[in-house]
Structures are given as structure tokens and as C-alpha cells.
Amino acid sequence: MRRVVVLGGGHSKFCFNSPKTSVEMLSEVAMDAIRESSLEARDIQAINVGNVLGDFAEGQGMVQSFFANDIGCFNVPATRFEGACASGSIALRDAFIWVASGYYDIVLVGGVERATAMGTALATRTFAMFGDSRYEFPTGFTFPAAFGLLAHLYAHRYRIPLERLKEQMAAVSVQSHEYAMKNPHAQIHKQLSKEEVLKSFMVTTPIQLHDACPFSDGAAAVVLASEEVAKKLTNQPVYISGIGQTSSGKLSSQYQYLPRLRARELAAEQAYRMAGLTPQDIDVCELHDCFSIAAIIAAEGLGLFEFGTAGEAWERGETRLGGKIPINMSGGLKAKGHPIGATGVSQAYELTRQLRGQLVEQGRQVDEAKHALMDTLGGDGVLVSIIFSAA
């Protein structure tokens, strides 16, 4: 199996109510990625795209084919991936496998979503399609409700008073907003205090408005290449050193393991094993914080903290720049934004820049980062873990 390198990347500003179509947003970031890779459109041999709700949001399917043609990648195989919020990450993992196998030398990976056009009510309903529609949705089991229940389970399992857990969740949101302020691509550029989080309106107990990520429009892209090709194009290679992907049934079928997500733990184990690393080797992490409680659960499932302790770690500053393990220096889904098809590719874009030391001027660079971990959760249980390593 060949080594695979992330070359260039492109990233739009995540926003509300973009005036551009998904095809337009994706075309722009893809061309940025191609140019940064010192390539031309004709060099791309295949395209993978994460996109979830184009059909509903814009009445537009087949974004992968139309944008490929628009940027001059004529007649290449272009494939759309749907795995809810993990769609972009699945597209990235699949592209890695194609290049590692030797079938392709250069693959473009993109992700795009234009979810805000639907409005909150319809977007919440369409997001709920990626839980169980037959039994869970009719009982009110939207994703805010699901993570509210996970928060209650977490408090019970680890004997943390709910009000105390809410303070820890608030610390997650406050930190995310702080680093998003430094990220020009982030959707929300607004400082947030713990008091503002705890006074925001209740969405579904104990999830409040500022515990939740926004609906977002945006796109991101990266180019993957074989090591042999990359050596001719860059002197700062960032390697994909480990991948993991798992799935599970509807959330209610996981009741014996919750609030832990077994699929996440297994995906992370796969990635660590492939990379020959442990959680202690990770220097920076971008994880799936669709809700503040999701960040706490994810950090523990990835092995970064002991179970029941991650909330305290956020309060102590262990997840900040200079801390034990900097998490979501981009602002995360919570404040950078969450255009669901693009989220995983955005994480890859961010971590590639961390490992190249390109975020110093923005004030969110992790010093001497060598290994980075991304974690993406799709729906009730598609989990993708990918580890990146500097040369």
C-alpha cells in the first residue's frame, strides 16, 4: 500500500444564506485546492464529493458531475457520498484507499452544503432523516433531543450533577467561539461568556441555544496524491497515516453502551493501529462537536481523556492552545459552522494547515504539531477517524 499525501486545499467562509449555489461554492474551493497543489484541472483523475441535502435544499442533485465539468475535469469519475454529517469524511477515506491502492495517483475530494436555504424547521426535519424515521422520529427524536438525552445519560453514568455538567458544556462553547474569532473562515465571529450560554433559551433539556452548532452553508476541498507524485509538488507533505470507519444501528439500539458510542471507539482504534500511534501521540484534534455534550463524549471516546472527566479538562484549559491536547482550534462545528457535507473535508483542511505551521499569524497554531486526529459522526452512528502526520 502506497503512502498518501494531502497536497493543497480550498475553503469557503462558512455562512448563513449563501448567495452562491452548491455547484458554485464547490467549484471555487476545488480550484483553490488544485492551484495550491501546483496542478491543473486536467491532472485530476477522480473526484469524491460529500453532499447530503442538495436535493432538498436546492432541488439539485448530481452536484459532483456538474461542478467537475464546470472546473474543467471533463469525463472523470465523480462520485457523491452520503453519510449524514460524516459524508465528507467518508469521501476522504475512500479517496485515500483509491490512491493508496495505486489505482489513482491524484484524487480531488470536496464537500458542500447549502442547508440554511431550508430554514430551521425544514432543516431540523431533514436532518432527522439520518436518525431512525420509523420509530424514533415520530417520538420527537430529532438530533437536539437525542443529544439532550445523551447529556442526561452522561450525568447519570458518571454521577455528575446536571447543573455541574451544564457548566462544563458551557466551557466547550466558550472555547469554540474564542478560536472561531481567529478563523477567517468561521461562520460565527462572536465572543461568548459562560453566563450567556447558561442564559440562552432552552432547546431541549439540557441543551440550550449556545450548546448547539448552527446550520451552515459552505464548501471545502483537498487534493490527495501518491507520495511519488507529491514529492515533485511540495516540500511540506502531510501524510494520511491512519484511517478508521465504523457504523452502528439507530441510537435506541445502542442503549446498552450509551452515552459512549462504541462505533467511535472502534473507528479510532483502527486509525491508531494503522498509524502505529496512541492517543498520547496526538498533538491536535478536530472533533465532532455538533452539541457541546457531543464534544465531551467524543474526546473521551477517542481516548484523549478518561471517561467522565473531559468536561473538567475543558474547564481547566487542557483543550486550549498550549494545553494537554488542543481541540477544535478552528472553532469546531459549534462556531466555525457545520455545512454537513463539507464538515469532514474542512477538518482535513484545518489539520493539514496545523501540521504545516500555517496558522501562526491567525494566533491558533499548535507548536511543533506532528500528528493530528479528526473525528466525524454521521447520523446515529457512522464514525470516521483519520490521522494526519507531518513528514
Tally the C-alpha atoms within 13 A of residue 327's C-alpha that lie toward its C-beta: 34
Place of cell 433531543: 145
Catalytic residue among 11, 15, 73, 85: 85
Q: Is 73 among the residues known to form the active site? A: no
Strand pairing category for 382-390 and 371-378: antiparallel
Whether residue 386 contacts residue 88, with contact meaning beta carbons closer than 8 Å, is answered with no
Angle separating helix axes 262-275 and 292-301, nearest 10 degrees = 50
Helix/strand/coil (H/E/C) assignment for every residue in the chain: CCCEEEEEEEECCCECCCCCCHHHHHHHHHHHHHHHCCCCHHHCCEEEEECCCHHHHHCCCCHHHHHHHHCCCCCCCEEEECECECHHHHHHHHHHHHHHHCCCCEEEEEEEEEHHHHHHHHHHHHHHHHCCCCCCHHHCCCHHHHHHHHHHHHHHHCCCCHHHHHHHHHHHHHHHHHHHCCCCCCCCCCCCCHHHHHHCCEEECCEEHHHECCCCEEEEEEEEEEHHHHCCCCCCCEEEEEEEEEECCCHHHHCCCCCCCHHHHHHHHHHHHHHCCCHHHCCEEECCCCEHHHHHHHHHHCCCCCCCCHHHHHHHCCCCCCCCCCECCCCHHHHHCCCCCCHHHHHHHHHHHHHCCCCCCCCCCCCCCCEEEEEEEECCCEEEEEEEEEC
Q: Is 338 among the residues known to form the active site? A: yes
Count how many residues are written for the chain: 391
C-alpha cell at 199: 442564559
Q: Which amino acid is at 377?
A: L
Catalytic residue among 11, 177, 288, 338: 338
The phi and psi torsions of 240 (rounded to 5 degrees) equal -85, 110
Which residues are catalytically annotated? 85, 338
